[in-house]
Amino acid sequence: MSQEKPEPPVNILLVEDNPGDVAFFRETLRDVLLPTALQVVEKGDEVLAYLRKEGKYAHAATPDIIFLDFYLPVQDGSEVLAEIRQNLAFQPLPVWVFALSEGQSVRTLLEQRGLQVSGYVLKPVRVEQLTEILRTFPRSRGSAETGAA
């Protein structure tokens, strides 16, 4: 008899500068009944260093999915997303953008710049929404964008 191996965790990179939002995201993840591993960077300019495994990120896990706050210090979400999408190694990474409201300004700006995302998540993130994203995510690992939600 063989035992099933436990499902590997989904490696999540959260790009968020607000400690309250980070804490809320962590709490929400605890209620998601899936194995996850969360890493957090606070500034836009740290994202590429993390992805390239530079400096203090030399041994960082490669993320399976990125949750990107649009409003960041140093580089905003659109600048970070543009750099991710310009790098062939990072283009396939699913990126979900956090927005404060359902206003079209973030979506419109990204579309005008030709920057594709997997979807948009309203703050504060809901357990049900995060669970749905992560449950459907493993089926699309390694594929192109899943389309805007």
pLDDT tens readout for residues 134-145 = 877 653 444 333
For residue 123, what are the contacts with CB-CB under 8 A and spacing of at least 6? 21, 98, 99, 100
Look up the domain containing 70 and give its range: 10-140
In a domain, residue 92? The reply is yes
pLDDT tens readout for residues 28-72 = 888 887 888 999 999 988 999 999 999 999 999 999 999 999 888
Phi, psi (rounded to 5 degrees) for 11: -80, 115
Higher pLDDT residue, 101 or 127? Answer: 127
Q: What is the CATH number of the domain that holds 54?
A: 3.40.50.2300
Please tell me the predicted confidence (pLDDT) of residue 144.
36
Number of domains in the chain: 1
In a domain, residue 47? The reply is yes
The pLDDT confidence band at residue 103, using thresholds 50, 70 and 90, is low
Asked whether 106 and 120 are in contact (CB, 8 A), the reply is: yes
In a domain, residue 2? The reply is no
In a domain, residue 55? The reply is yes
